């Protein structure tokens, strides 16, 4: 199962660094040259080579992982591809163990995990080098759950296992902040099995949950102090009102993204947040809650809690730059597989039919993984695919245009850049790219106008040099 999933990704292991890999890895001196260990945890500039990236995330464990790989194998894509794949195989094994532990049905757990291993939504976290933190975070989080569960259920070595679970949870958060939901998910698990726990196990469970809450709070305090921000934007009453609409809509959107075989992209367009959509989405959430309460299936309830709680950081409760992303669905997808495992274990009369359906879907997903992974070979293929799949995504269109420019295809680039301007407006960076496209086409008057518009919005030395170059070319061009 795990080896089959890994084999599907082998052809894509040596693709180029893409998206932000160069900023986080290739041009990041903290990764390529190294700094004292403490600086990774206390200096936000170690996150990336671009200053505007330094306040967007706090992932020192991931950056240390980058440094270890570069020190051992160099700043090349292949070692990162192999590391991601190895961690993915380990995650598959841990997810299977978790599903088996919760359902008690080995066949159902393995079948559901096979489906999880072949989800096309995992293509991005597996083949994107900078997603190493996603894999580290999930593996550490799952190990933290196992350690905490053993500490709750067995008195022997309980203290040692509890401490281990806290350390693993802290490392998971340091690899990716979405792991701050580990504590709430653990609390939800305890709540689901509370009636089955003996009094001494209940006391240990409460103590461990409280300890995890303290570690999570401490992490958030440290993160805020180091990077100087809570979210990726200001938190206001307006963002709070938007969150009330966004939460249910994005919950359903992420379920759709997780289950979709095709249509995945490196960047997505906005999701409509009309009131009527939010109302329907909230009604759907309420209907699921009622169905879970009536079903009274512990594993199914825990699976739903895992899915919903693990998504809280990316439901726009706090401002987020991306609308949504496949890599954000990586941890939440575990909740989906647990639900599938529970459904398979509950299928008695239709068990063969249910397992046959899983096999059929797995075959479709396996084929889709191969198709989706092809897009990640180069920046040009990646953003071209994203622009085709998500024509309303300004980031996809602008990035595709930029890479078309680098490929010396200015006419095609201009189409994409102008499309991005229609969607998102004429920002200074985008206007300068339009200027470069016009420059390559020899349309210097239009290039100068676009460059001036860019500099009027945001002055920069590089922008002034581009404008001077365009003006010089215009002067040297023959008069018609």
Summarised one tens digit per residue, pLDDT across range 292-312 is: 999 989 999 999 999 999 999
Tell me: do 251 and 388 sit in the same domain.
no
Burial of 98 (0-12, 13-18, 19+ CB in 10 A): buried
Q: Please report the pLDDT score of residue 243 as a whole number.
A: 87
Contact 114, 8 (CB under 8 A): no
Burial of 176 (0-12, 13-18, 19+ CB in 10 A): buried
Q: Which domain holds residue 164?
A: 2-374
Q: Please report the pLDDT score of residue 15 as a whole number.
A: 83
**Dihedral sign, Cα of residue 281, residue 234, residue 328, residue 211:** negative
CA-derived radius of gyration, the chain? 24
The number of beta carbons lying within 10 Å of the beta carbon of residue 62 is 24
- Quote the tokens at residue 173: 């958060």
> Angle at CA 115, nearest 5°, toward 277 and 345?
90
Lowest model confidence (mean pLDDT) among 92-96, 250-254, 273-277, 461-465: 461-465
Residue 424's pLDDT band (boundaries 50, 70, 90)? confident
Which DSSP category does 15 fall into? P
> Tens of pLDDT along 145-158?
999 999 998 888 89
Tell me: do 274 and 412 sit in the same domain.
no
> Tens of pLDDT along 117-134?
999 999 999 999 999 999
Total domain count, the chain: 2
- What length is written for the chain? 480
> Tens of pLDDT along 348-378?
888 889 999 999 999 999 999 999 999 998 9
> Of 334, 355, 374, which one is at a domain's C-terminal end?
374
Contact 139, 35 (CB under 8 A): no
Q: Please report the pLDDT score of residue 475 as a whole number.
A: 83
Tell me: do 17 and 166 sit in the same domain.
yes
pLDDT averaged over every residue in the chain: 92
CA end-to-end span of the chain:
67
> Tens of pLDDT along 221-230?
999 999 887 7
- Quote the tokens at residue 463: 């922008």
Instruction: Supply the CATH number for residue 427's domain.
Output: 1.25.40.10
| % of the chain with per-residue pLDDT over 90 | 76
Tell me: do 148 and 117 sit in the same domain.
yes
Tell me: do 331 and 426 sit in the same domain.
no
pLDDT surpassing 80 at residue 232: no
34: left (phi over 0), alpha (psi -120 to 50) or beta: left
At 407, is the secondary structure helix, strand, or coil?
coil
Q: Among residues 245, 251, 328, 323, which one has the least CA distance to residue 285?
A: 251
The mean pLDDT of 24-48, rounded to a whole number, is 94
Q: Among residues 409, 404, 440, which one has the least CA distance to residue 420?
A: 404
pTM of the model: 0.92
Residue 2's pLDDT band (boundaries 50, 70, 90)? low
Contact residues for 261 (Cβ-Cβ < 8 A; gap 6+): 120, 364, 365, 367, 368
Tell me: do 101 and 224 sit in the same domain.
yes
> Of 350, 374, 398, which one is at a domain's C-terminal end?
374
> Tens of pLDDT along 56-88?
889 999 999 999 999 999 999 999 999 999 999
> Of 374, 398, 415, which one is at a domain's C-terminal end?
374
pLDDT surpassing 90 at residue 5: no
Tell me: do 106 and 213 sit in the same domain.
yes
């Amino acid at each position: 199962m795990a080896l089959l999933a890994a084999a599907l990704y082998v052809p894509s292991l040596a693709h180029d660094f893409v998206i932000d890999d160069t900023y986080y890895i290739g041009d990041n001196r903290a990764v390529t040259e190294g700094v004292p260990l403490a600086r990774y945890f206390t200096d936000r500039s170690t996150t990336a080579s671009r200053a505007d990236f330094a306040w967007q995330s706090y992932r020192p464990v991931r950056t240390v992982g980058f440094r270890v790989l570069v020190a051992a194998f160099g700043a090349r894509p292949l070692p990162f591809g192999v590391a991601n794949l190895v961690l993915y195989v380990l995650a598959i094994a841990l997810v299977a163990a978790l599903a088996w532990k919760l359902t008690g049905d080995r066949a159902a757990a393995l079948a559901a995990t096979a489906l999880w291993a072949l989800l096309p939504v995992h293509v991005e976290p597996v083949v994107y080098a900078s997603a190493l933190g996603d894999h580290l975070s999930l593996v550490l989080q799952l190990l933290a759950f196992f350690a905490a569960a053993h500490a709750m259920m067995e008195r022997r070595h309980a203290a040692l296992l509890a401490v281990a679970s806290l350390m693993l949870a802290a490392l998971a958060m340091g690899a990716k902040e979405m792991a701050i939901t580990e504590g709430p998910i653990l609390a939800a698990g305890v709540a689901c099995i509370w009636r089955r726990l003996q009094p001494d196990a209940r006391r240990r469970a409460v103590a461990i949950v409280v300890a995890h809450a303290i570690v999570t709070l401490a992490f958030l305090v440290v993160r805020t102090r180091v990077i100087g921000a809570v979210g990726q934007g200001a938190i206001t009453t307006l963002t709070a009102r938007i969150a009330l609409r966004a939460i249910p809509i994005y919950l359903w959107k992420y379920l759709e993204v997780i289950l979709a075989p095709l249509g995945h992209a490196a960047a997505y367009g906005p999701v409509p947040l009309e009131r009527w959509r939010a109302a329907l989405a909230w009604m759907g959430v309420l209907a699921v809650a009622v169905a879970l309460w009536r079903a009274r299936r512990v594993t199914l309830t825990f699976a739903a809690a895992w899915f919903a709680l693990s998504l809280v950081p990316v439901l726009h409760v706090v401002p987020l730059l991306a609308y949504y992303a496949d890599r954000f669905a990586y941890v939440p997808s575990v909740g989906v597989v647990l639900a599938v495992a529970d459904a398979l274990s509950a299928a008695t009369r239709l068990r063969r039919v249910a397992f046959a359906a899983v096999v059929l879907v797995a075959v479709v997903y396996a084929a889709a993984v191969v198709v989706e992974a092809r897009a990640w070979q180069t920046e040009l293929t990646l953003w071209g695919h994203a622009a085709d799949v998500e024509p309303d995504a300004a980031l996809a269109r602008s990035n595709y245009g930029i890479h078309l420019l680098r490929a010396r295809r200015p006419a095609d680039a201009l189409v994409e850049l102008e499309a991005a301007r229609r969607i998102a407006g004429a920002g200074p960076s985008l206007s300068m790219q339009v200027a470069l496209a016009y420059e390559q086409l020899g349309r210097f008057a239009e290039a100068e106008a676009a460059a001036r518009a860019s500099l009027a919005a945001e002055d920069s030395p590089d922008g002034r040099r581009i404008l001077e170059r365009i003006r010089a070319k215009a002067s040297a061009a023959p008069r018609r």
